[in-house]
Structure 1
Amino acid sequence: MAAGSLAAVDLLPFDDYVRSLNRKRMSAGVLLRDGDRRVLLIQPSYKPHWDIPGGAVDAEEAPWTTAVRELREELGIVRTLGPPLVIDHIRSDPRMPEGIAFIFDGGLIDQADVDALDLTDPEILSVDLVPVDQVATKVKPSLARRLSVAWSVVATGNLALCNDGERITL
């Protein structure tokens, strides 16, 4: 491009440019597991599938802050989380815009801890430790794929990138 030809290009004013940027929804969940190859799932009151503790990232909130907050709000669990295990790009569908989903390592939990949970959040009907090989029967297929990837990297603490729950390599 020749010097001075940049002026010939129609550039948006900065505020218009910012308004034109794509917005993505974000969610953050927590993988809690026990020593018997089971994953903690929650039964929400507002949707048909089970889920992991977590939820939508609020405005001006970091995903890791969301994960800690949701764990406390949903289950009354206060703990330091481990590293992120999965970052998943989720394509849009007719009902939802595209998004980014994070899964953080919540560490180990045992049956006694689960039995002692005092579920006070009306959004949560029940919790269960579900064998890894049965998780896909309770959760949405995209979450089942994402959890399978999270489970495969939890021992190493590595971060996996996914597209709709399918692990990718860069």
Structure 2
Amino acid sequence: MSANTSPAESKMAHPRMAAGALFFDPEGRVLMVQPSYKDYWEIPGGYIETGESPLRACEREVWEELRITPRIGALLAVDWAPSESEGDKVLYIFDGGELGSDELDRIQLQPEELITFRFVEPGRAGELTIPRLARRIAAAAAARQAGETVYLEHGQVPGSIAA
């Protein structure tokens, strides 16, 4: 415990936070990107910087990764998803809406990080990514359909059977 940290503060969580967006095509499929530094696919997004809101981080990351500035809409999901290697994590997923052909034509992938992108059925995201992210994508897509925001733990609604 540092000299400036009280006993109560030392017990407080200091999670890493990240924000991303689900973008859809007219068929309801979700945009996924293939990072060059991972062996699985992701959604556009990344870590929130100090003093940055989750929404602003999402907008910044979408610009940095795709070079587009679509309106980022409602919060679809919040996922408490700690990992052994990174500790406590809180992940926010926002509704990026449906991308039209004009926006798709303007996408310029960040070459240092991304190889390609494609649209996939939300229920088939598990073919490209890790199970926890696949569950998060499916839950966020379902929340969008229902006009709701969903709270998740490890990509699933608390109390549901682990996948």
**Residue by residue, what CA displacement relative to the aligned partner does 1:27-73 show, whole Å, maximum 9, x if unpaired?**
10100011212110000111111000000111111111110000000
Q: Does 1:36 align with 2:27?
A: yes
> Partner residue of 1:48?
39
Q: Which moved more, 1:61-70 or 1:117-126?
A: 117-126
Normalised by the length of structure 1, the TM-score is 0.83
Identity within the alignment, %: 31
Aligned residues of 1:28 and 1:102 also touching (Cα < 8 A): yes
- TM-superposed CA distance for 1:122, in Å, is 1.4
- The amino acid across from 2:134 in the alignment is A
Q: Which of 141, 148, 155 is the equivalent residue of 2:131?
A: 141
Q: Which has the larger radius of gyration?
A: 1
Give the distance between the partners of 2:120 and 2:102, measured in 1 at CA.
Answer: 15
Quote the Cα distance in structure 2 between the aligned partners of 1:112 and 1:61.
29
Question: 1:86 is matched with which residue?
Answer: 77
Matched, 1:122 2:123: no
Q: CA RMSD in A?
A: 2.0
Distance 1:62 1:15 in 2: 24
> In the alignment, what sits opposite 1:109?
99
CA distance in 2 between counterparts of 1:142 and 1:111 reads 30
Aligned to 1:22, the other structure's residue is in SS state coil
List alignment gaps of at least 5 residues for structure 1: 1-12
TM-score, length of structure 2 as denominator length: 0.86
